[in-house]
Structure 1
Amino acid sequence: MPPMPRHPIPMVPPMTDHEYEAFDLAGPLPTGITLLQASAGTGKTFALAALAVRSIAELGLSASELCVVTFTEAATSELRGRIRERIAEAIAHLEATAHLDPDVAITTDPVLIALGRGTDGQPIESAEHLLRLARLRTALDEFDTATISTIHGFCSRVLAIAGGASADTPISSDTDHIVELINDLFVSRFSGSTPAPVTPAQLLRAVETRLKLPDARLYRWNVDDPGPNAGARVRNEFTRSGKIAVVADLVDEVVELVLQQRTDQRRRTYDSLITDARAHIVSSDGVGTVASLRARFSLVMIDEFQDTDQVQWSMFRTAFLDSNSQGISSPVTSSPVTTVLVGDPKQSIYRFRSAELSAYLGALEYARTNGRVFSLRVNWRSDRAVLDGLDHLFGGLAFGDPRIVFESVDAAPDHDVSPFAIAGAPATAAVELRTIGVSGAPAARTVAFADLVAEIIRLLNTATIERDGIAQPLRPSDIGVLVRSNADASRCARALNEAGVPAASSSADSVLGSTAARHWRWLADALARPSSASLVRTAATTWFIGLDGPSIAALTDERLSELIEQVRGWATDLTEGGLPRLMASLRAGGLAGRVLAAPSGERDLTDLEHIAELLQSATSGRPISPAALSDLLTGMSAGAGDTEAESTELLGRRIDRDDDTVKVLTLHKAKGLEFPVVLCPTLWAAPSGSRGSLKHGEVGGQRLIEICKLASNAEPLKGYKDVVAADKQETDGEELRLIYVALTRARHRLVVWWNPPASGQPPLATVLGAAIGTDAKNVEVAALVAASNGTISEVAAVSGPPPALARAAVPTPTLEVASISRNLRDDWRIWSFTAINSASGDHASPSAPGAAVWQVQPEAAPLLGGADEFAGDDPETLDPATPALTPLQSAPAGPAFGTLVHSALERVDFTSGELDAELTSACAALMNHRPLAIAPAALASGLINALQAPLGGPLGSTSLVEVTQVDRRNELDFDLPLAAFDASKIASVMLDHLPSTDPLHPWFVEAAAGALDVSLDGMLTGSIDLVARTVIGDQPCFWIADYKTNLIRTGDYSGPALATAMHHSGYALQATIYLVALHRFLRWRLGAAYEPQSQLLGAAYLFLRGMDPANDSADPAGVHWFQPPLAAIEALDLLFATGAAS
């Protein structure tokens, strides 16, 4: 995988205090590229929401023209809520001031004030006032059309615009696939006398690092052969350089295999989602996508930009900013889009997730050269006293790079006087250093935690915070304890709880590394093999059954048989009802009581339910086999990091209590949070060494990965020392930034423990040393306090039993059973074609004798692929006289075959010149897991036959092999709200418009007469096999294809026979639902350009067994078209939305 070309990173001059102009939220709206450089607490989200509201009101942007990207689901949810809230506030303000004198001030909010003024600062005219109000009201109504998403959501949109099946590829970890590939390589290459240069585990580390950093390269140190007479040192360097080259070649080879495998198997990870989107954007194929993005969006805002990397920056830069003159590969002719980047480089702490500070610095220089850079300079979080103390601690400190220097910020106007007070204690500084003075880290931790507990109890007993003008006691939830490691978090929470202080811990380590995950794996193994006595015995030790060691040893054969039957019953629950039914059975057996009986019960139950939620999400709640559940758990665990740094937002362990508790958090988990009181008992300790990724750093503008030790188990050679030094500089800088994150969470009071290091240079020592102009080894807290002008105080930490906690400090809430004052509805549910068809009874049974060869599946969930096809067809029961009209005529029947065919068709490009080989490969891969009585090549041949067949109807001789990847969308999922009405109305409305000559007219007559007697209310969900676009004349037209592998025993796939099949299986209802869904989708995507009368062609039901290239294009066998009048679709669209068709 050759590295992508990168934009050069010019050297940005060091930042100085207030180098950039303060950003005025009420000033001129930005154009072009603008970078807002923030500090902790300066209101990044507030600024983004303000720009969105003002752009809508003043510039006339619609909600759909707004694109906001951030990096976590939580941040996305917060941004979405904040922007919607600000739009509502702006509407309320403009409504309240519509008839007031412009000079009458009713708010001090600068954004709301700006909405009533023009660019000259003068009040706007009444007409403009009403226009801005109307724009905001429309934006609120259409808010869901705004793109406010994570970086992965944005990349999914890019790939969707690019078109093709790749946009729908599921996202998952592929670590297990990489491990399998590496093991296969070792077996084939190093199983003989050839020794392997590295172990499989070492190779996996290198490959994963290389995949995580796609633009990096392995540093190769080439040494020419010095000849046999060279000295030992020179010869040794030559030998080692050769070993390094072998390892580097091996890593690159595996990476190429992984990338090829991802493409061939349509597999995508979260990292590859971003790299795939970037690769498309910067290529010549991305010209249309860039133009589409620039045409759609008028304002792009990217939050937390300090956490980006070079891949993301080059993608955003190409997509929205660059022109041909700036050296991009694709010929962009559209104008750049107004783009606002917001970030605080002092909070760049996600290097382990491939964040590159150099990307932020490159964007900074780009903005300095091509746009504007502003700073957010008012802290809305902390009291002035806290900010003064932080100024003294951080003043002049560079955070790992001379270009990133601490910037002093102003306190908000109402933060001059703190609402926090401690009764009966002398006034102390808002920032306090508590000195430990004990040798050895274990002993120092013991003192720190004992002193921490005592200090928290003291504060709960005596401290108050003024809220709404009333001094109220400090609550446990007002306190945040920030620690370095997961172990520290657990120990701290345990110590607080033992002292009677309610505490809950949360860390960034993966829930899949917890005890609960181990119990889940043991249960899944037993569910997969319930007849195995040993696996059932192991499962019996879990919380799900709850037997201890002596009870297991004393199991009788009769009791063991009961346990086996119990596990077998759970396996049946899983197979028939999925995770929801399994969890219901487990809970009914007293699961929660058993778990909560242990001291760590709340923590364990939280983890157990978290994993259940992950499994349910991964399976969509659908039935799953125990073996598949076991494989899913294994795959999820393989993809989860085993360190705090490697865990994802989704897998991070959650707070185990949501009541009034002290929150104990690791530093990464605390980012973005704030507390009235923050205590940091372990920042004095040196950070633990990182595991996992290899060392890497930027050398000469290129990120290099160091594999010297991996290859030769020796100290780095000359060239590699540069990489190691760069890695250390980046790591040390990030540690300093973690200190900044920790110390900027406090609103009113900050307490930090300090203990001099016995060796090394912990980051806190660097901070304290820099504050008094000395090195980290000679920190004197007394000198620091003396020089702080009273902004920092010193207290000696003490160990010993904590004071008693006053009962009033932690009030116990009075609980009562909730009462429900309204009637609960039990008729609202999620419907699908299959659910409606099943609930309607036997209306779909054929009226003609001897025609009952189709059966409707009874599942209520929406079915994908071939799962809506029928299991009763058996090729061995065909009439022997029936000729095999097409190659698929003698293929197996049933849902399994249908699902395989659907999957194979989704994987291939119909227009590929290698379609035969690609389809054969896809069939073979799928049949590895689902063997069928047909050879992959024979199946592929039959499918190609169908793909080359004419489609007839409005498409005439056009075949599927003419549908390109960009003109097709596989498995278009939809979820539509359903008003309350009887399903028979669908048929009645259709009969109002459908000609009586339509082959499906009789089905709608039966359905309207009562065969479709189902009360609907809720949501309608489904998945359309294929939505395709075909240009007819000069107009793009859209149509639906639904693949059917139904086996008709007579072998007759002519029009009348297919109409009978459509009738008896209820496919008329399915086609109707799908056309309404597509109509809504096109109306939303195309807007005013959508002309449904000519562009909505209808639904083609493709009975693949009957399709053949030799068929008559005017009325081809195997193809049934349903083309109801547009008036019917529009009336049904209204019926679904309102319950009435007019």
Structure 2
Amino acid sequence: MSAPEASRADLDQRPAPVDEDQRQRVRTELRTSFLVEAGAGSGKTTLLVERMVALVESGETEVARIAAVTFTRKAAAELRERFQVALERRYREARPDPAEGERAARLRDAIDGVDRAFLGTIHAFCARLLRERPIEAGLDPEFQEAQEAETQLLQERFWTSFVERIISDSDPLVEELAGAGLRVDQLRKAFDQMVENLDVEYPADPVAAPGPEEARGVRRVLEKLLDRALALMPDDEPERGWDATQQMVRSLRYTRRFRGWDDLAALFDAAEKMSSRKGFTLNRWPQPTPEGSAEVKRLRDELAVLGSEDGPIRKHLDRWLAHRYSMAIRLVRRAAIEFAEERLRIGLLSFHDLLMLTAQLLREHPEVRRDLGERYRYVLIDEFQDTDPIQAELLFLLASEPEPRAGDAGPRPADWHTVVPRPGALFVVGDPKQSIYRFRRADIAVYNQVRARFKEFGAVLRLITNFRSRQTVADLVNDVFDDPARFPREETDRQACFAPMVPYPRAPNGPEGVFHYQVPKARRNADAARLEAAMLASWIRARLDSGERTAGDFLVLTRKKAHLDAYARALEERNVTIEVSGAQAGPEEELRELVLLLETLIDPGNPVNVVAVLTGLFFGLDHEQLAQHALAGGRFDITSSPRDRDRDEDGSGGDTPAREVAEAIATLHEWWKESRREPADIVIGRLVDRLGLMPFVASSTLGTLRAGIMAYALDSVRAEALRGNASLAGAVEALQAALEWEDAEAPFDPGHGDAVRVMNLHKAKGLQATVVVLANPAQTVSHTRRLDAHTRRGAKGGAEAFAAVTAPAGPFSSWTLAQPLDWSALAQEEVRFLEAEEQRILYVACTRAREELVVARKHGKSCWGIFDGWLDRNAKALQLAADVPRSRERMARSAEDLLAETVAAEAGMAEGARPSYEFASITELAKAGEEEMGEADGAADADEAVAQDMVKPRTEDGGAEPVRGEDAATEPAQSDDPATPTLRDRTTLRGYAWGSAVHGTLAAAAQGVEGEALEFVARALLVEHERPLDERGAPAELVELMSMVGRVRASELWRRAERADMRQPEVPFAVELPAENGGIPRLVEGVIDLAFREADGWVIVDYKTDVGDDPDFPARRRTYRRQVDLYAECWEQVTGEPVKEKALLFTTMEKEERW
């Protein structure tokens, strides 16, 4: 490390951070691998950039051998920008000092080559590695990465196909499941879970079903409880409806009566439903006597105990569910494996595939691991606390060298738990206190394993200085979370240890502190959210109006996604610019109407669909109009037009309600005809334009967000068409997948920096704001609800996963179909992990704030409740009140005004569409010039003159080669090598593919490739361009191509190029030529095959593979000369140096023209 770098802290007048010694180790100890535990706001991205700059500045490595992995694409873009800025700043510091010349040169090279470093997400990095070695990975080199919505659609299709196939094949496992009372289609959720966890083992040993005596005991308990419940239930439905227990009792009475409980499946289904009873409302069980009321309470208590761990049927029910479990796991694992094989077959990989295949590639192919490790010598990872085991594995393998094995034994798969990374090869930054993505496979247990490994071969550093938050925010964080119940003094397998937040001293810059406000009471959480949103939006609007804050200063966070739209709407009503994530406020109604329209076009004779479309959003007809149409003899069928059939008797076609329906059906008929002629994406795009759907969505509440989601959905239709499915059915599936994908968000007008950001907490990763509001305190979290998975990891890997296989029982509930025998203990362990993560989530929430933290409070239980005590003692209360937002102004525009504005807009668009420059290739210009002179006098003379210029290539001694045949201009040469096909054996024109192979091989030769390496290039090019193969599967033209290249390389022209002081093969260029005759400038592009510079100027060479014996050749030859003339003109403009000579080298004819 240079002296300027080492003394930077001394030169800075600001006080050094309390952890400066740790930061200095990052900058200077480049041969040490570090795991840096960087607390919130500690400047970890700055430290990451400083490490990267130090690596290249010190000469430790080149920029192209650095890979920096980030959590999001946005973070990658920010890192790239900051890296380049830092390089440029260091270069400016070093350049004036002559003693720093070498360092300045390294920095200059790094700036020039910054795009050669990898800076991106882990999935993009894996995709790059796989594209470098697809064959070893078992992949189609043209594989594509599927987006999440595409993966979901593919998964849906596969599952449907899989279920249909195994049922139609009478698969034995289907029969086994049916015997246990399970249907294959009930296992969809378990299949989805297995798809994401194929790398994990699912122990599922067979368990015997309960015996007959045990079943009889269970039945007696259920019968008794059910009979008591039936006796206590009211005869008539209560005014507010049956409660959940009563609904369950009525259902069980029906199944006992008509299906019976004689078989085990029916009996234990009843036991599961009765054990998972929720919702017992005493006032809906009215009794005439106190004794009856007491009996109802006893029933309630006994039902509550029934499903408990000590309940009378629990152990038998658990055994039955475990008996089903092994069958269910076997089936979904088989389906998941087949689905993975299907993705590989079609070359469409999910994000998870990219990780698994890359880890497998590095694990099983030591030579690939060695090569890629040489390519990427230094790997830096941000946000490592949210890594999963596959990511950890592939990064450790990439950063270490394969171990050679003695003897003849083949390589064994590498184990990331034992490999030792190269010195300094790994630099990992993360904060275990911010690990909050367990539901996405992020596992703090993996982080702890990695941390232990770093202590073996590197070092673990801890940064506690906070450059983000003010002292008051830091006080809250330290006081609340410095508690062993939240963060212990030493890390455990479930929780990170506490580290204090030490704010870096800064001068005050406006209002700061921690505040709280009270949320009004309401019967429903949704109502409370709307009331709070109005208050909060009014407060933000007032602060904006006062000039105290800007919209971009505010970040509104909620614990979960529910009710986010309420906050977004309240802000928009007050004309506050917003940016929303996770609100799920897309154009569901409009998209469903569009899907309905498409389904009608698919099934045009379905009257139900036709009626639904006519009464829907797009036509808005009422049922009275439809009835009159039907009474007039009209049909709801769009396969024919009703216009002629439904005309009035006088032929006028009057404006009657029936007429309006007929006109609408006629419109649908035209659209149906179009859908039969054109691809779905074209048809849908035209329909959206005709219906004005996008402006309609954009002009509604939250229009920018909703229009963005609409655009995303339409893009998914286009993507489906590009994959080859341009049918309406495929378009409907794509739209439905977009509707179902919760994260389908794409603002229609992105990039607003000055906007209030509104999102749920999990979307706020890496974000910060001047003012952070923790809103919607009613969103409490229950970790036992819908708990359906637990993963257990050993000290050396060997992860095991366990799942509760469930099926929906309503919009907010589910019932268990199968589970492991010891699920109760496993679930309790998972709850402990989730409770520990909840503390980390709350830590993330309050550490986003820079200057102001505002916490919403409510009476009773609150998701922000752990802050209540501190807020009472230290925070200031805000009194928020909702104002009345102004109603949306209506535009008073006449039809004439709108028409005039439309005409003016169209004129402006036409003016804007006028080209400001013309684009053309050199080839196009040469051909155009030939057409202009094609009829001119003297064309024949020109042909003759060109023919006379044509000579055999000169040999190295300067003499002309002997000409075979009678006419040098027309007679093809014959090869002396009998293995080489003669030109007479070839067709006159051999096409673009052959020419590309010749050009590519000559370009490689001009770059110094020769011998076997050149032959390898030639073979690859012939295969790439699908040239003919011989009986052995080798390129049939390889010998001919190599012989041709050899003769070209022996020519005087080639030798001159080799002796030139500068030689440029395959040079792409683009230049602007000035306007001619009052026109517009012309931008031209092309590729020069070979340019070399001699003492008195440049020589431009263009290769041609023509045989030259066809009647059109003389005309083509003139075009070629014009093409080279244009190359020379452009080259002189690009280089500012003269072109002294131009040449055409006819490789097949072994002739050249020079002028």
TM-score (norm 2): 0.62
Distance 1:237-1:547 versus aligned 2 partners, 3 A rule: closer
- Tell me which residue corresponds to 2:334: 253
CA displacement 1:455-496 (0-9 Å, x = unmatched): 2234234462xxxxxxxxx22232221123444221112122
8 Å CA contact 1:504–1:663 kept in 2: the answer is yes
Relative distance call for 1:821 and 1:717 in structure 2 (3 A) is closer
Shift of the 477–1060 alpha-carbon distance from structure 1 to 2, 3 Å rule, reads same
- Structure 2 equivalent of residue 72 of structure 1: 72
Matched residues in 2 for 1:741 and 1:453: separation? 23
The reply on whether 1:171 has 2:145 as its aligned counterpart is: yes
Residues 420 and 463, structure 1, Cα contact 8 Å, conserved in 2: no
Partner of residue 703, structure 2: 601
* Residue in structure 1 matching 2:550, options 469, 472, 475: 475
The match for 2:23 is 23
Q: Percent identity?
A: 19
Pairing 1:562-711 to 2, within 5 Å after superposition: 562-566=667-671, 568-569=673-674, 574=679, 583=685, 586-587=688-689, 590-616=692-718, 626-627=726-727, 630-631=729-730, 634=733, 637-638=736-737, 642-643=741-742, 647=743, 658=752, 660-687=754-781, 694-698=788-792, 703-708=799-804, 710=806
Q: Distance in 2 between matches of 1:655 and 1:693?
A: 38
Cα distance in 2, alignment partners of residues 599 and 1115 from structure 1: 66
1:377 corresponds in structure 2 to 464
Q: How has the CA–CA distance of structure 1 residues 546 and 375 changed in structure 2, closer, same or farther, with 3 Å as cutoff?
A: farther
CA contact (8 A) 1:198 1:710 kept: no
Q: Distance in 2 between matches of 1:752 and 1:316?
A: 40
Deviations along 1:739-762, one digit per CA (max 9) or x if unpaired, are 22222222221111122445xxx6
Letter in 2 for 1:169: F
Q: Which of 178, 182, 193 does residue 209 from structure 1 map onto?
A: 193
Q: Secondary structure at the match of 1:148?
A: strand
Matches within 5 A, 1:1014-1053: none
Residue type of the partner of 2:670? E
Asked if 1:438 is matched to 2:521, the reply is yes
User: RMSD over aligned Cα, in angstroms?
Assistant: 5.3
Superimposed CA distance per residue, residues 857-887 of structure 1 (whole angstroms, 9 cap, x where no aligned partner): xxxxxxxxxxxxxxxxxxxxxxxxxxxxxxx
Whichever residue aligns with residue 316 of structure 1, its letter is L
Distance 1:455 1:312, change over 3 A: same
Task: Please give the alpha-carbon distance, in whole angstroms, between the structure 1 residues aligned to 2:838 and 2:456.
Answer: 30
Q: How many corresponding residue pairs?
A: 834
* Residue of structure 1 equivalent to 2:510: 420
Aligned 8 A contact 1:40 1:744 in 2 = yes
- Whole-Å separation in 2 of the counterparts to 1:243 and 1:749: 54
Give the superposition deviation at 1:526.
6.2
Deviation at 1:345, TM superposition (A): 1.9
**Structure 2 partner of 1:764:** 864
Q: Give the secondary-structure state (helix, strand or coil) at the position aligned to 2:427.
A: strand
Give the deviation of 1:185 after TM superposition.
Answer: 2.0
Alignment of 1:930-1009 (within 5 A): none
Q: Does 1:180 align with 2:164?
A: no
2:378 and 2:425 in contact (8 A); partners too: yes
Structure 1 residues 565 and 715: alpha-carbon distance in aligned structure 2, compared to 1, 3 A threshold: closer
SS of alignment partner, residue 145 of structure 2: coil
2:773 is paired with a residue of what secondary structure? Answer: strand
Aligned equivalents of 1:1079, 1:784: Cα separation in 2: 71
Tell me the residue number matched to 2:202.
218
2:483 aligns with 396
- The offset of 1:310, in angstroms, is 0.7
Q: Is the 8 A contact 1:1100 1:1121 kept in 2?
A: no
Alpha carbons of structure 1 residues 1060 and 93: separation in structure 2 relative to 1, 3 Å: same
Given that 1:513 and 1:637 are in contact with CA atoms closer than 8 Å, whether structure 2 keeps it comes out as no
CA distance in 2, matches of 1:439, 1:394: 31
Question: For 1:1059 and 1:996, how far apart are their aligned partners in 2?
Answer: 25
1:723 partner amino acid: L
Distance 1:642 1:763 in 2: 26
What is the letter of the counterpart of residue 784 of structure 1?
W
CA pair 667-630 structure 1, distance change in 2 beyond 3 A: farther
> How far apart are the structure 1 equivalents of 2:43 and 2:130?
32
Contact kept in structure 2, 1:602 and 1:657, CA below 8 Å: no
Letter in structure 2 aligned against 1:680: L
1:560 to 656, 665, 668: 665
Matches of 1:291 and 1:168, distance apart in 2 = 24
Cα separation, 1, equivalents of 2:1009 and 2:661? 70
- Deviation at residue 39 of structure 1 after TM alignment: 2.0
Supply the distance in 2 between the matched residues of 1:1112 and 1:719 (Cα, whole angstroms). Answer: 60
1:374-401 C-alpha deviation (Å, 9 max, x unpaired) = 1233323223333233333333363697
Whether contact under 8 Å (1:592, 1:605) holds in the other structure is: yes
Secondary structure, counterpart of 2:535 in structure 1: helix
Letter in 2 for 1:477: G
Indicate the SS of the match to 2:733: helix
- 1:1014-1065: CA deviation from partner (whole Å, max 9, x where unpaired): xxxxxxxxxxxxxxxxxxxxxxxxxxxxxxxxxxxxxxx99757533524xx
Aligned to 2:877: 794
Separation (CA, whole Å) in 2 of partners of 1:133 and 1:239: 73
Letter in 2 for 1:216: V
Match of 1:410 among 502, 525, 540: 502
- Equivalence for 1:157: 128
Alpha-carbon contact 1:436-1:755 (below 8 Å) kept: yes
Amino acid at match of 1:183: E
Task: Identify which of 572, 589, 614 aligns with 1:497.
Answer: 572
Paired with 2:670 and 2:1043, the residues of 1 have a C-alpha distance of 51
2:24 aligned counterpart, secondary structure: coil
- Secondary structure in 1 matching 2:987: helix
Compute the displacement of 1:81 (Å).
1.9
Deviation at 1:552, TM superposition (A): 9.0
Could you say if the C-alpha distance between residues 460 and 558 of structure 1 is closer, same or farther in structure 2, counting changes exceeding 3 Å?
A: closer
**Within 5 Å, which residues of 2 pair with 1:754-903?**
754-758=857-861, 763-765=863-865, 767-768=866-867, 781=868, 783-785=869-871, 787=873, 790=874, 792-795=875-878, 801=883, 825-828=916-919
Deviations 1:41-72 (CA, angstroms, capped at 9, x unpaired): 22222111111111111124212111111232
Greater Cα shift, 204-213 or 602-611: 602-611
C-alpha deviations, 1:945-1002, integer Å up to 9, x for none?
xxxxxxxxxxxxxxxxxxxxxxxxxxxxxxxxxxxxxxxxxxx999999999999xx9
- The two structures have a TM-score, normalised by structure 1, of 0.62
Amino acid at match of 1:218: Y
- Residues of 1 paired with 2:982 and 2:615: CA distance? 61
Q: Write the letter of the residue equivalent to 2:709.
A: D
SS in 2 for 1:713: strand
Q: Take 2:693 and 2:587, find their aligned partners in 1: how far apart are those partners? A: 20
Q: Work out which of the residue numbers 448, 454, 459 in structure 1 matches 2:538.
A: 454
Q: 1:750 to 1:144 in 2, by over 3 A?
A: same
- Matching residue of 1:4: none
| 1:43 and 1:380 in contact (8 A); partners too | yes
SS at 1:166 equivalent: coil
Aligned residue in 2 for 1:281? 362
Give the equivalent residue in structure 2 for 1:956: none
C-alpha displacement of 1:541 = 7.8
Q: 1:1073 to 1:607 in 2, by over 3 A?
A: farther
Closer/same/farther in 2, CA of residues 299 and 209 from structure 1, 3 Å limit:
same
Structure 2: how far apart are the matches of 1:280 and 1:755? 53
- Opposite residue 156 of structure 1, the aligned amino acid is A
Q: Rate the CA distance shift 1:784–1:412 in 2: closer, same or farther, 3 A.
A: closer
- Indicate the larger mover: 717-726 or 370-379: 717-726
Looking at structure 2, the residues matched to 439 and 614 of structure 1 have their Cα atoms a distance apart, in angstroms, of: 41
Kindly tell me: are residues 625 and 564 of structure 1, through their superposed partners in 2, closer, same or farther at Cα, counting changes over 3 Å? farther
Deviations 1:659-706 (A, max 9, x none): 854222222222222222121221452137799993223265664444
Once the 2 structures are TM-superposed, how far is the Cα of residue 320 of structure 1 from its aligned partner?
Answer: 1.0
Q: Which range moved further: 727-736 or 363-372?
A: 727-736
CA distance in structure 1 between the partners assigned to 2:739 and 2:692 by the alignment: 30
| 1:609 Cα offset (Å) | 1.9
Q: 1:445 and 1:35 mapped to 2: Cα distance?
A: 42
Any idea what SS the aligned residue of 1:420 has?
coil
Label 1:804 to 1:527 Cα distance change in 2 as closer, same or farther (>3 A): closer
**Following the alignment from structure 2 to structure 1, what is the Cα–Cα distance between the partners of residues 115 and 950?**
30
The answer to whether the 8 A contact 1:507-1:652 is kept is no
Instruction: Work out which of the residue numbers 747, 766, 770 in structure 1 matches 2:850.
Output: 747
Distance 1:496 1:250, change over 3 A: same
Q: State the one-letter code of the partner of 2:823.
A: Y
